[in-house]
Amino acid sequence: MIDENMIEMIRKEAPRMEREGRLTGEVLEYIYDQGLFKLFIPAELGGNMQPLPEALKIFEEAARADGSFGWLVQIGSGAGFFAVTMDPDEMRTHFAARDFYIAGSDRPSGTAGKTNDGYVVSGTWPFSSGAEHASLFTATCRIKSGGEEDGKAYAFAFTPDQVTIERDWDAFGMRATGSHTIHVEEAFVPASRRFDVTRPHFHFDDPVYHYPFKAFAAANIASTAIGVARHFFEAAREHIESKKDDWNKADSRRHDHAVEILEKNEAAFLEARKDFYHSVEKSWESHVSRTVNEMDMTDISMQSKITAGAAIEGVQNLYRHLGMDIVMRSHPLNRIYRDLLTASQHALLVDSEGEIEGPQ
């Protein structure tokens, strides 16, 4: 689905995408042609449904091509989970579009006032990845009704004409994701576009929709970090070889030492990657056979954090041995490095409770 020719094309576009802060038209057309935003949408809605383990490998390859590209493929496909929470008629209207993509936020930073046939919604939500090519937006609001639903949080879907995009994504990495702030002001949303992600209806069904959402989301993001880290190690190996003659003139050990550092840290990372996919496969097989247990899902979250930690640790250990060339923002290794640190900042990949240890 993402072959080496496509990876080469995406990497050629990467510097321009970083400068412009968005995917290029050529890259978006490739995504639409391949159905890469529809990996968790059923065929009856024009989707390209994949089992979770297969989708994660596609996310990894997408991120190996380029971090921003991989992030948006993963985020775009992850929105397919809404196929079991939104009104079926709304799904048929919006999800079947060739250029389908949902941007938005689960932060409950909006308000929704009840009317006779819907809601009037206002709010501001940051970090809406892919906002500039979104065909639909979703965001979470608290109900203002004065009734029994007052204060409850629900998700709402907005059409692009109801949303104002504030181009404020000025991040360290993942710069081409266009993860801007969105604003909605007094927009009418029909009741059919209010949905509750905690109460699926399963008008459209697939095993992936029954998979616990937190483990699903953690695995998706971890696979993206894995792909970026693989790209870094591959590019670092090429860089080290390109510097061999110059380095050996100044220091006969520098090249060999850099290779040793690379191989040691890449091996530790790949071992963590193997453990991650083992946990995913085990949990998926148990899930499909309906013998899954809570420990399987806890293991997914833990392995997602461990693998992201191994990626960061390995790349950090290697980075300082690669020379001054790569401190320049325009250098490919600089961009890959920044993308990895930015993707791994996600809360689902951060050990905030001291419950895990990284590889020794």
Task: Say how far residue 30 (Cα) sits from the centre of its chain.
Answer: 18
* Residue 17 structure tokens: 């995408």
Q: Which CATH superfamily, name and number, covers 4-84?
A: Acyl-CoA dehydrogenase/oxidase, N-terminal domain (1.10.540.10)
Measured in degrees and rounded to the nearest 5, phi and psi for residue 345 equal -75, -15
DSSP string of 4-48?
HHHHHHHHHHHHHHHHHTS--HHHHHHHHHHTTT-TTS-GGGT--
> 148 pLDDT band (50/70/90 cuts)?
confident
Task: State residue 355's pLDDT score.
Answer: 46
Q: Determine the Cα–Cα distance for residues 28 and 99; give it in Å rounded to an integer.
A: 9
Residue 354 has pLDDT above 70, yes or no: no
Of 336 and 249, which is predicted with more confidence? 336
Please name the residue ranges forming H helices in 151-293: 207-210, 213-242, 244-250, 254-288
Task: State residue 22's pLDDT score.
Answer: 97
Closest CA to 309 of 261, 260, 345, 256: 345
When pLDDT is averaged across residues 133-159 and rounded to a whole number, the result is 91
Give the other-Cβ count within 10 Å of 241's Cβ.
12
Task: State residue 360's pLDDT score.
Answer: 26
When pLDDT is averaged across residues 39-58 and rounded to a whole number, the result is 95
Q: Determine the Cα–Cα distance for residues 335 and 328; give it in Å rounded to an integer.
A: 9
Closest CA to 174 of 218, 130, 125: 130
Q: Which CATH superfamily, name and number, covers 102-195?
A: Butyryl-CoA Dehydrogenase, subunit A, domain 2 (2.40.110.10)
Residue 322 has pLDDT above 80, yes or no: yes
- Up-side HSE of residue 221: CA atoms within 13 Å toward CB? 26
Asked whether the beta carbons of 149 and 127 are under 8 A apart, the reply is no
Q: Determine the Cα–Cα distance for residues 56 and 69; give it in Å rounded to an integer.
A: 14
User: Over the chain, what is the mean pLDDT?
Assistant: 93
Fold of the 211-349 domain: Butyryl-CoA Dehydrogenase, subunit A; domain 3 (1.20.140)
Q: Determine the Cα–Cα distance for residues 226 and 355; give it in Å rounded to an integer.
A: 21
Task: State residue 291's pLDDT score.
Answer: 84
- Letter for the amino acid at 133? H
The tens digit of pLDDT for each residue in 189-207 reads 999 999 988 788 888 889 9
Task: State residue 352's pLDDT score.
Answer: 65
The tens digit of pLDDT for each residue in 276-295 reads 999 999 999 999 998 877 78
Percent of the residues in the chain that have a pLDDT greater than 70, as a whole number: 98
Task: State residue 358's pLDDT score.
Answer: 35
Measured in degrees and rounded to the nearest 5, phi and psi for residue 270 equal -65, -30
DSSP string of 59-90?
HHHHHHH-HHHHHHHHHHHHGGGGGGTS-HHH
Domain boundaries, the chain: 4-84, 102-195, 211-349
The tens digit of pLDDT for each residue in 201-229 reads 888 889 999 998 889 999 999 999 999 99
Task: State residue 187's pLDDT score.
Answer: 98
* Residue 156 structure tokens: 């709402």
The tens digit of pLDDT for each residue in 4-25 reads 999 999 999 999 999 999 999 9
> 96 pLDDT band (50/70/90 cuts)?
very high
